[in-house]
């Protein structure tokens, strides 16, 4: 079995059908090559200042094993590259996120936008489900619990199996046992070209692959969205000031935590209230 590969020009409904069937899909040309080229240049320049194995998730030995001893990870990508904001306003990815997440929230925000560069000699990452970060929300009524997150692994350069392409178990989002992570023999690699993306559900079992090359890095970034009433991995609201985001789109401002959370049409009260009320912000955004 392999993941379906579809062009970003395909109808949203066709892309969604493949995502819901297999748990993930490779979307070819999801992001423009000029945007990815600029982002790649900026990310790789910043990576020169980051030592492998020092990601903030790797605070203990278990965390270091998960993130990878020869893997470079860092977030706050909007602080180093203007191109990052183009990803946030991508219409195709936005349509997919709306369809997957909005049935269970008033709006969603960024879970994390993170460089994930896997170096030579890296072992395969342990298989996991991203939704496990929000165990209570994800495991309740499993597998019928709501999708809490949608992710894209975006290729900054060509990614091959040998370089550590993300490995996915198609159909694992439908398994009856939340704790079952399968095994590596059940996985398939998400090989991609520059600008392609693996878009996958939070319930889907996956993990970074082993980099068995001698001198090639797997260069990719992870951009994921999360239900607006859950706490994300990345502290975006603290990373950017109002002034820094003043010229950004209302969508980018909301994704980065600089707009209040309006739960409608789902029940509940406003969250993350800003100086200007969330109802005013919502009205302003729709003008």
Q: What is the mean pLDDT of residues 244-259?
A: 96
Is residue 287 over pLDDT 50? Answer: no
Residue closest to 100 by CA, chosen among 261, 273, 197, 227: 227
Share above pLDDT 70 across residues of the chain, in percent, rounded to a whole number = 91
194-216 confidence digits (pLDDT tens): 999 999 999 999 999 999 999 99
List of residues 6+ apart from 198 with CB closer than 8 A = 3, 24, 25, 26, 27, 152, 153, 166, 168, 190, 192
Do residues 168 and 3 make contact, with C-beta atoms less than 8 angstroms apart?
yes
Tell me the C-alpha distance between 27 and 93, whole Å.
Answer: 10
Q: pTM here? A: 0.92
Q: What is the mean pLDDT of residues 173-182?
A: 98
Is residue 178 over pLDDT 80? Answer: yes
Residue that wins the pLDDT comparison between 40 and 286: 40
Tell me the C-alpha distance between 22 and 175, whole Å.
Answer: 11
The pLDDT value recorded for residue 105 is 95
Tell me the C-alpha distance between 182 and 210, whole Å.
Answer: 17
Handedness of CA 24, 26, 30, 35 (dihedral sign): positive
The pLDDT value recorded for residue 65 is 65
- pLDDT tier at 277 (50, 70, 90 boundaries)? very low
User: How large is the angle between the packed helices 12-22 and 91-101, nearest 10 degrees?
Assistant: 50
Residue that wins the pLDDT comparison between 276 and 168: 168
For the chain, the distance separating the N- and C-terminal CA atoms, rounded to the nearest angstrom, is 46
Reply yes or no: is the peptide bond before residue 110 cis, omega within 30 of 0.
no
Q: Identify the H or E element spanning 188.
A: strand 188-189
Residue closest to 105 by CA, chosen among 233, 272, 234: 272
């Amino acid at each position: 079995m392999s993941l379906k590969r579809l062009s970003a020009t395909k109808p949203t409904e066709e892309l969604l059908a493949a995502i819901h069937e297999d748990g993930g899909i490779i979307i070819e040309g999801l992001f423009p090559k000029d945007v990815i080229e600029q982002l790649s240049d900026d990310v790789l320049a910043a990576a020169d200042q980051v030592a492998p194995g020092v990601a903030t998730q790797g605070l203990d030995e278990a965390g270091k094993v998960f993130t990878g001893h020869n893997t470079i990870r860092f977030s706050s990508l909007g602080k180093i590259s203007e191109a990052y904001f183009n990803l946030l306003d991508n219409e195709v990815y936005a349509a997919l996120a709306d369809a997957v997440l909005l049935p269970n929230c008033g709006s969603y925000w960024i879970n994390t936008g993170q460089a994930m560069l896997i170096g030579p000699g890296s072992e395969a990452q342990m298989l996991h489900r991203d939704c496990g970060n929000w165990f209570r929300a994800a495991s309740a009524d499993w597998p019928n619990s709501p999708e809490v997150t949608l992710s894209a692994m975006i290729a900054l350069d060509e990614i091959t199996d040998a370089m550590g392409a993300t490995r996915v178990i198609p159909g694992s989002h439908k398994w009856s046992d939340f704790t079952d992570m399968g095994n590596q023999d059940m996985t398939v690699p998400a090989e991609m070209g520059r600008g392609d993306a693996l878009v996958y559900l939070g319930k889907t079992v996956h993990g970074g692959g082993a980099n068995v090359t001698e001198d090639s890095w797997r260069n990719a970034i992870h951009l994921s969205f999360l239900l607006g009433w859950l706490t994300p991995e990345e502290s975006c609201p603290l990373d950017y000031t109002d002034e820094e985001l003043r010229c950004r789109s209302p969508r980018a401002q909301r994704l980065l935590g600089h707009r209040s959370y309006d739960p409608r049409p789902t029940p509940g009260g406003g969250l993350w209230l800003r100086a200007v009320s969330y109802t005013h912000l919502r009205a302003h955004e729709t003008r």
